[in-house]
């Protein structure tokens, strides 16, 4: 038995559009952006995660940086596999020859059967022997400490990079859910467009991301407003580098449209919730997870729109991986996990 455990490994992965996290024995051991840099000529992996992100939008023709996931699903299989391998390679382990590798992987709830099979296939390619999938809202609910097996309805909204998942969970199942392809990446795009229009300046994705973090806002008036933020880009008229200063009000304005779409989806999800569960949600409120939950004023905006209490979990970026880690310890108990053989 001892020998067996020596060669056995188990971990849980949150394969997100923006970030990939791996948890092992309750500790987050990998937390990296979901990106890989590949040598265009040889096909070799040059870097994964943060190191690859540093190269993003700065590459020459021999190097390509790829974000293998799009809208929550694997869009580039080869790149995804290189990325997963690279991230597993970061684990602090002296033994790479696992006799038994057990994994739980988190997937968006809107995923198709074909896409599920693709996730299992990637796990096969890293030689995983026992693999389970878990739906993201379920993992998020577990991660924030909700008892998902109870006959009580809870609404979870996970705003990630590619997708926003809105789900009502009760009795170990997802009762109703909405998945929309408007989330952090869409906010970033809106920021790039707005800076282009109002300042005639072109900025890259990474700069837009920094703007979102420093002066991102869902409301035009905040109680604790952040200071203005200066960024450098390229002047569209003169072509030379230029600095512009951005206020949170400006960002609130350009994010209004995508946020409204998320709000509409939340209202629609509430409308389709069975009445007994609605009454639970009236009491328990809405739980926000995912990086998008960190956007200033978003909780207040959703609370104003729905008249419900909105809770932002302590570390929204890690809720899903923590829940996936809890699932890993309960694979024999949780009926909502999807084993390999069922696909
Ligand atoms: P995924 O699960 O899809 O990988 P995450 O839950 O990791 O996504 O969230 C990533 C998204 O959250 C990115 O679009 C990122 O820009 C956004 N994000 C991270 N921090 C903040 C912040 N402080 N304010 C607004 N958005 C943020
Ligand atoms: Mg996620």
pLDDT in tens, 255-284: 999 999 999 999 999 999 999 999 999 999
* Candidate from 23, 292, 318 with most ligand 1 atoms within 8 A of CB, to mutate: 292
Sign of CA dihedral 76, 90, 127, 13: negative
If DSSP codes are grouped into helix, strand and coil, which group holds residue 133? strand
Q: Which residues pair with 106 in a beta bridge?
A: 14, 134
CA 140 – CA 136 distance, rounded (Å) = 6
pLDDT band at 2 (very low <50, low <70, confident <90, very high): very low
153 Cβ below 6 A of ligand 1? no
User: For position 239, what pLDDT does the model report?
Assistant: 96
CA 6 – CA 266 distance, rounded (Å) = 47
pTM > 0.75: yes
CA 142 – CA 336 distance, rounded (Å) = 12
Judge whether residue 158 has pLDDT over 90.
Answer: yes
Judge whether residue 109 has pLDDT over 90.
Answer: no
CA 113 – CA 122 distance, rounded (Å) = 14
290 Cβ below 6 A of ligand 1? yes
295 Cβ below 6 A of ligand 1? yes
* Candidate from 14, 68, 70, 184 with most ligand 1 atoms within 8 A of CB, to mutate: 184
**Looking at residues 233-253, what average pLDDT do you find?**
97
**Looking at residues 134-161, what average pLDDT do you find?**
95
Query: Quick one: which H or E segment has residue 184?
Result: helix 184-199
Q: What is the DSSP letter of 227?
A: P
pLDDT band at 93 (very low <50, low <70, confident <90, very high): low
Question: In terms of C-beta distances under 8 Å and separation of at least 24 residues, what long-range contacts does 50-55 make, across chains too?
Answer: 53/206
209 Cβ below 6 A of ligand 1? yes
110 Cβ below 6 A of ligand 1? no
Q: Which residues pair with 217 in a beta bridge?
A: 296
pLDDT band at 6 (very low <50, low <70, confident <90, very high): low
Residue nearest to atom 25 of ligand 1 (CA): 295
Residues whose CB is less than 8 angstroms from the CB of residue 147 and which lie 6 or more positions away in sequence, other chains included: none
Distances from the Cα of 49 to the Cαs of 54, 75, 253, 337, in angstroms? Answer: 9, 17, 32, 28
Q: Which residue has the tokens 């293998």?
A: 68
Say if CB 5 and CB 99 are below 8 A apart: no
Residues whose CB is less than 8 angstroms from the CB of residue 128 and which lie 6 or more positions away in sequence, other chains included: 101, 102, 103
162 Cβ below 6 A of ligand 1? yes
Name the more confident of 9 and 97: 9
Say if CB 131 and CB 103 are below 8 A apart: yes
Report the mean per-residue pLDDT for the chain.
92
Q: Quick one: which ligand is closest to 109's CA?
A: 2
Tokens of 301: 């905006």
User: For position 125, what pLDDT does the model report?
Assistant: 81
**pLDDT, tens digit (0-9, with 9 covering 90-100), for 196-207:** 999 999 999 999
Q: Residue 92 CA to chain centroid, in angstroms?
A: 24
Least confident of 61-70, 150-159, 259-268, 276-285: 61-70
Nearest atom within ligand 1 for CA of residue 158: 6
312 Cβ below 6 A of ligand 1? no
């Amino acid at each position: 038995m001892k020998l067996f455990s020596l060669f056995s490994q188990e971990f849980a992965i949150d394969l997100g559009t923006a970030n990939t996290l791996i948890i092992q024995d309750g500790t987050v051991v990998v937390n990296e952006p979901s990106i890989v840099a590949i040598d265009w000529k040889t096909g070799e992996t040059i870097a994964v995660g943060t190191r690859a992100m540093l190269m993003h939008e700065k590459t020459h023709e021999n190097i390509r940086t790829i974000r293998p996931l799009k809208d929550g699903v694997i869009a580039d299989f080869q790149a995804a596999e290189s990325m997963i391998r690279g991230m597993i390679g970061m684990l602090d382990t002296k033994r790479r020859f696992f006799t038994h590798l057990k994994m739980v992987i988190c997937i968006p709830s809107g995923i198709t059967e074909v896409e599920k099979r693709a996730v299992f296939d990637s796990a096969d390619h890293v030689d995983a022997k026992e693999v389970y999938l878990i739906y993201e809202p379920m993992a998020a609910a577990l991660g924030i400490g909700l008892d998902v097996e109870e006959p009580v309805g809870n609404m979870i909204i996970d705003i990630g990079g590619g997708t926003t998942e809105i789900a009502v969970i009760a009795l170990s199942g997802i009762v109703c859910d909405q998945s929309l392809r408007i989330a952090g990446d869409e906010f970033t795009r809106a920021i790039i467009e707005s800076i282009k229009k109002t300042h005639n300046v072109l900025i890259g994705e990474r700069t837009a991301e920094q703007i979102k973090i420093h002066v991102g806002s869902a409301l035009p008036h905040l109680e604790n407003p952040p200071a203005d933020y200066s960024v450098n880009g390229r002047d569209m008229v003169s072509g030379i580098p230029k600095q512009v200063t951005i206020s949170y009000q400006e960002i609130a304005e350009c994010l209004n449209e995508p946020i409204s779409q998320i709000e509409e989806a939340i209202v629609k999800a509430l409308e389709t919730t069975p009445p007994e569960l609605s009454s639970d949600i009236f009491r328990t409120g809405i739980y926000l997870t995912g990086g998008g939950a960190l956007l200033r004023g978003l909780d207040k905006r959703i609370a104003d729109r729905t008249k419900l209490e909105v809770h932002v979990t302590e570390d929204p970026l890690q809720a899903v991986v923590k829940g996936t880690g809890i699932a890993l310890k309960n694979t024999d108990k949780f009926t909502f996990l999807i084993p390999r053989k069922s696909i």
